[in-house]
Every structure is written in structure tokens, then in C-alpha cells.
Homo-oligomer: A and B are copies of this chain.
Amino acid sequence: MERIAVFPGSFDPFTIGHEAIVKRALPLFEKIIIAIGHNKEKKCYFPLDKRVKWIKKVFKDELRVEVAVFEGLTIDFCHKRGVKYILRGLRTSTDFEYERMIAQTNKFMAPDIESVFLLTTPELTAIHSTTIRDILKHGGDVSRFVPKEIDLDSI
């Protein structure tokens, strides 16, 4: 059976932290679907089409990475695509408590799906999309926090 993982998130924006998790997890899976959770009622900072385009650009040479958009629950998207693994990165113990709540809830609702975690490397631990948006709102430069293929000013 094929080992495919869904890497879900809002990626608002996609950071070098996200990029590192996908790259490190690629040897473990045959394919990784970077799945942008879309919710019409939740306003994001960057438009959906930009986020899709940016991530595609980062992985344009990596045939085993697919970028997808989904609405609804992550586990429903996994079922629809026949995926058995959810990939997540862990940075801090605050992350851990949150991810554990989500993973255990998912496990109740979809016992056939396994959440697999990698730890972020230390130098990427402080990188959060939230922080990046905050810096942007205050006029700061965030280019060092996103993959070089992404030009946030192009928006």
C-alpha cells in the first residue's frame, strides 16, 4: 500500500519551518500532499491563490509533493484521498499540548489515520506564521523566514 501523507495547515504564509518539515519527511513517504485548509468564514492574511502558487513554486522540482486545497475536516480530506498519515511539525511544548488534543480527537474520529510528528530543528523553532504576519503588519522585513522562492511583496 502506498504511503502518502497529508501536511495540513493554513500556511499564511508558508515558512522555511514548513519547508524543512516537508523536505525531511519526503524520504519517509512516497508522496506528501500539502493541504491548505480553506474556510470561507475565516479571513486569512494572504489570498488563497497566492498561497497555493507560492508553495507550488517552492516544490516545482519535487514531483512527489502535491499542493491541494480542502474545506471541512482534515480527516475527511484524508479519507477522500485515501491517505493514512497526517504529518505535523512540533516546535515547543505549547505546540505539543495543542497537537496532542487535535491528534487524539482525530484518532477518536478516524482510528485508521495516524499522525506522524517531526521536531523542528532548533534554529527554526521560533518561526511561526503568526509572528511573521505581526512583523509584516508593523512594517518589518520577513524575507529570512520564508523560502527564497516566495516573494511576499509580489502580492
Contacts and interface: CB of A to CB of B under 8 A. Distances in A.
Interface stretch (A55-63, A112-120, A146-154): A112-120
A68 interface: no
Contacts of A122: 104, 122-126
Nearest to A42: B137
Most central of A72, A100, A144 by chain B CB within 10 Å: A100
Contacts of A92: 93, 97, 100-101
Interface residues of A, number: 52
Given A104-B125, A126-B100, A140-B109, A116 B28 contact: yes
A28 to B, nearest CB: 7
A102 B94 CA distance: 14
A43 interface: no
